[in-house]
Amino acid sequence: MFQSMADEPLTKHPQTGQAVRRVLCAPAVGGKWSDSAMSRSVADDKKLDRLGFTKYVKAGDGVYEKRAGKGPDTISRDQTTSFD
């Protein structure tokens, strides 16, 4: 059952009479910052490149390949890379 924050908390379920307690849940946030919108934005490599972001995708154990932006074509946990 959902109720407004302004409502007094219920102590018993209205149908069963069993004891209940109020549980607060995070609000659902939509729009351009929602998880689904962000995942679409991150999937568009051309858009990321145009906006100046660099995207690397895991290609193996500790190895990442560049998909968008500037920087080395691959990076690895075993190599030292300077980003100038």
Q: Is residue 75 part of a domain?
A: yes
Region of 72 please: left (phi>0), alpha (psi -120 to 50) or beta: beta
Rounded distance between C-alpha atoms, residue 53 and residue 49, angstroms = 5
Assess if residue 27 is contained within a domain. no
Q: Are 69 and 52 in contact (CB under 8 A)?
A: yes
Residue by residue, pLDDT tens for the chain (84 residues) are 677 878 888 889 989 999 998 888 777 766 776 777 777 777 888 888 898 999 999 998 889 999 999 999 999 988 765 555
| 59 part of a folded domain | yes
Task: Look at residue 80 and tell me if it is in a domain.
Answer: yes
* Structural domain contains residue 76: yes
In this structure, is residue 26 part of a structural domain?
Answer: no
69, 55 Cβ separation under 8 angstroms:
yes
Q: Is residue 70 part of a domain?
A: yes
Structural domains counted in the chain: 1
Residue 67 included in any domain: yes
Structural domain boundaries enclosing 60: 53-84
**Which helix (H) or strand (E) covers residue 38, if one does?**
helix 35-43
